A and B are shown apart, each in its own frame.
Chain A
Amino acid sequence: QKEVEQNSGPLSVPEGAIASLNCTYSDRGSQSFFWYRQYSGKSPELIMSIYSNGDKEDGRFTAQLNKASQYVSLLIRDSQPSDSATYLCAVNDGGGSNYKLTFGKGTLLTVNP
């Protein structure tokens, strides 16, 4: 059974701080990694994708991937109260195709004003 593990949280950070969200996965063949944000009662929204080892930056968000350690993370700089949500890590089944994503259970982030 392929697994994607996330700390359920809640992770609480003050406004303006850096929030660090972590994810580990079991399938060593996985090649596509995604971070989704889900507000309470709403649908998941894609924030970032990452496919290569290293960092990928998009605005206040940075995704980091380390395939050797089977670890992917999301950093949110200058956290805002509007970032308060559950963040889902998703990993594709090995083989390179993007379908059949397995999702972690998510980390609840709270940004305190």
Chain B
Amino acid sequence: EAQVTQNPRYLITVTGKKLTVTCSQNMNHEYMSWYRQDPGLGLRQIYYSMNVEVTDKGDVPEGYKVSRKEKRNFPLILESPSPNQTSLYFCASSLLGQGRGDNYGYTFGSGTRLTVV
């Protein structure tokens, strides 16, 4: 089954304790991205990657790191989490290019609900 797998689904952590949220896709998509979703603010892009070793900042990158060492994996790293990073996080992937059709839309993972206390 084509999917984007995120882990963990739920995470409660303390301020300053480094954590990693994993994301893996099995669709051979070039493009992967991380979003956070907060009430009243909608989905905001954190980082994105257009291929292996190619990453760039989205709209809200502060406090986050990413890496893309393999095409299928795109982990999100919080080196020193703070309470304002409490949010619902989504990983997404898609084909990259100027094609048209639904397969150029994002496929989202199931989400990770992070609470930083």
A69 to B109 Cα, complex, angstroms: 33
Is chain A's interface secondary structure helix, strand, loop, or mixed overall?
loop
Give the distance in Å from the alpha carbon of A32 to the alpha carbon of B45 in the complex.
Answer: 17
Per-position 1/0 for A26-60, Cβ under 8 A of B: 00000010101000011111101101000000000
CB pairs A–B below 8 angstroms (24 shown): A42-B110, A43-B108, A44-B90, A44-B106, A44-B108, A46-B102, A46-B106, A46-B107, A49-B100, A49-B104, A51-B100, A88-B42, A88-B43, A90-B105, A90-B106, A97-B96, A98-B95, A98-B96, A98-B99, A98-B105, A99-B31, A99-B48, A100-B48, A100-B58
Residues of B within 8 A of A48 (CB): 102
Q: How many residue pairs, one in A and one in B, have C-beta atoms under 8 Å apart?
A: 64
Q: Which of A's residues lie within 8 Å of B, judged by CB? A: 32, 34, 36, 41-46, 48-49, 51, 88, 90, 96-101, 103-106
